[in-house]
Structure 1
Amino acid sequence: MVAPIPIASFGNNTQVAQDIRARLLPEYDIAHICLSLEAAETELPAICGGNLDTEPSSGLGSNASLPVGERKVPRAIIFGGGIPDDQVRLIREAVLAKAPEVKPIHLTRQDILNAGGNGPDPEIIGRLLRQKLAELVDQSDSESQSSA
């Protein structure tokens, strides 16, 4: 079995973050979860840049329970629908400055409504994220094959 692709998330709802994490397994592992702008500003550029000493202040995500040497560097960041565009932009720019290969994914509240949800529905969010993550993986695979 192939190891799950590690990702990070920045949202503002602990329960939704946990529910989505469970729905993305086993293909995707939310290794690092941030629940505040302050945490995302410091933690996400560091962990995505390869600093495995960076612990999730939320205590959530698979990296929270792993020793430093076993932690995973996220390959994508998912942003929750409740995160304002200016904060998404701020964090995305900070992360890409340290780790340009990391793929940002922002699901908006409108995306969730358009998919039939009427709030932070983990089932719908999980389905939408799986679609977007699969597109990114396909894109990364074809980019790496064309540069080979």
Structure 2
Amino acid sequence: MVGPLPVILCGMTEKIGASVIASLQPEYEVVHFVMNPTAGSAQIPPLLAGQSAPSDSSLGSRNYSVPPVAVILGGGYDDAGIEQMMTATAGNSSAKRVPWLRPDLTIPAPPLGPEYGKAMVQRVKAAMTEIQTKGEMNETKVYWY
């Protein structure tokens, strides 16, 4: 694929989301920003099936011409929320299989704010490189970053 890889970003605040989106560029294009598990359960399945979806956020390019290649989760998403979104996606047989990247909160990180976002992005990029190298971009499972 030429150009940035399209991804979905799930975060709890647009302020941190905006800095993460800027830091993911130029390698990744956040096409859609999800604000909570309930919204993600409704929005992610059609996005992974190559369709558009409404959003509660102004963030994201809304460039749905190519289905996203990954779902990146922020630290505010717990086991239950992630399970809810993944189950909703599994129920859509047209949804593309993609890795779901989740932060390992046991790894030290800066406090919430711009530096936190930058540190998380470095870890996301390293995890995505590893997933691509292993040839696992079509696996629907959680990868820790």
Instruction: Using structure 2 for the length normalisation, give the TM-score.
Output: 0.80
The Cα of 1:141 is off from its aligned counterpart by: 7.3
Of 88, 91, 97 in structure 1, the residue corresponding to residue 85 of structure 2 is: 91
Q: State the SS of the aligned residue for 1:129.
A: helix
Q: Give 1:146's aligned residue.
A: none
- Following TM superposition, where does structure 1 have runs of at least 4 consecutive aligned residues deviating by more than 6 angstroms? none
Greater Rg by CA:
1
Q: Would you say 1:39 and 2:39 are equivalent positions?
A: yes
Q: Give 2:50's aligned residue.
A: 50
- Gap regions ≥5 residues in structure 2: 139-145
Of 101, 110, 118 in structure 2, the residue corresponding to residue 117 of structure 1 is: 110
- Gap regions ≥5 residues in structure 1: 144-148
Distance in 1 between residues matched to 2:30 and 2:137, nearest whole Å: 23
2:42/2:88 contact within 8 Å kept: no
Instruction: Looking at secondary structure, tell me which structure has more helix per residue.
Output: 1
The Cα of 1:59 is off from its aligned counterpart by: 2.1
Cα pair distance change 1:13/1:109, threshold 3 Å: farther
Q: Give 1:14's aligned residue.
A: 14
Distance in 2 between residues matched to 1:125 and 1:51, nearest whole Å: 28
RMSD of aligned residue pairs (Cα, Å): 2.3
Q: Give 2:76's aligned residue.
A: 82
Q: State the SS of the aligned residue for 2:2.
A: coil
How many residue pairs align between the two structures?
134
Counterpart code for 1:78: I
Instruction: Using structure 1 for the length normalisation, give the TM-score.
Output: 0.79
